[in-house]
Chains A and B, each alone.
Chain A
Amino acid sequence: EAGVVQSPRYKIIEKKQPVAFWCNPISGHNTLYWYLQNLGQGPELLIRYENEEAVDDSQLPKDRFSAERLKGVDSTLKIQPAELGDSAVYLCASSLQGKAYEQYFGPGTRLTVT
């Protein structure tokens, strides 16, 4: 069974530029999560989707961050414009609906904003 797929794996951009990250969850997993992981820290939840609905985006900085999961499968996380402090690893995870305690993480996208 394929795991959670993320792309790109690495991205370097200048500040004020836009950037987007893509995630394909494990097949059959209705729930999708985006996490932010700063260097030397544990992951922090940004947004959670149940199918195509964002059911918790309370931690998402909505002035510059947006996300979508139009067909309830793949998801895209966007930052516009990026700031220096956005440099981090962005992790995507998925789980079966009702089994949030079994979250499977992708390899992440390491973003560097210069």
Chain B
Amino acid sequence: GENVEQHPSTLSVQEGDSAVIKCTYSDSASNYFPWYKQELGKGPQLIIDIRSNVGEKKDQRIAVTLNKTAKHFSLHITETQPEDSAVYFCAASSSGTYKYIFGTGTRLKVLA
């Protein structure tokens, strides 16, 4: 079945360093890839997304890249801050569907 693998499961970085989280999807029909940030006791919050007709998208310190051939997409956070500490989920879905297949999450810890 459809599957999204996410790595690493935990990531610790020093404040100011960059963090990279990687996902791989299995369904070649997937064409929409959102990233969610979930803080403790809160629901997931959409932070950035990318569609299959774009290879990269950037929003301030956050960027996402997509390699459709390899079925890989990645989240890049630069100049990390303690408030970036949270669990990050990637997801994949196909146009015209509402079904997100989520990755298993990455717990990011930014050390001050």
Asked whether, in the complex, the Cβ of A44 is within 8 Å of the Cβ of B102, the reply is yes
* Size band of the interface chain B makes with A: 20 to 34
User: Per DSSP, are chain A's interface residues mostly helix, strand or loop, or mixed?
Assistant: loop
Q: Let me know if A102 is at the binding interface, CB within 8 A.
A: yes
With contacts defined as CB atoms under 8 Å apart, how many contacts are there between chain A and chain B in the complex? Answer: 53
Say yes or no: A48-B98 contact (C-beta < 8 A), given A103-B46, A105-B45: yes
Please give, as numbers and ranges, the residues of chain A lying within 8 Å of B42 by CB-CB distance. Answer: 107-108
Cross-interface CB contact of B34 among A91, A101, A108, cutoff 8 Å: A101
Asked whether, in the complex, the Cβ of B43 is within 8 Å of the Cβ of A107, the reply is yes
Asked whether, in the complex, the Cβ of B93 is within 8 Å of the Cβ of A101, the reply is yes
Please give, as numbers and ranges, the residues of chain B lying within 8 Å of A41 by CB-CB distance. Answer: 102, 104-105
Please give, as numbers and ranges, the residues of chain B lying within 8 Å of A28 by CB-CB distance. Answer: none
User: Closest CB of chain A to B46's CB: distance in Å?
Assistant: 7
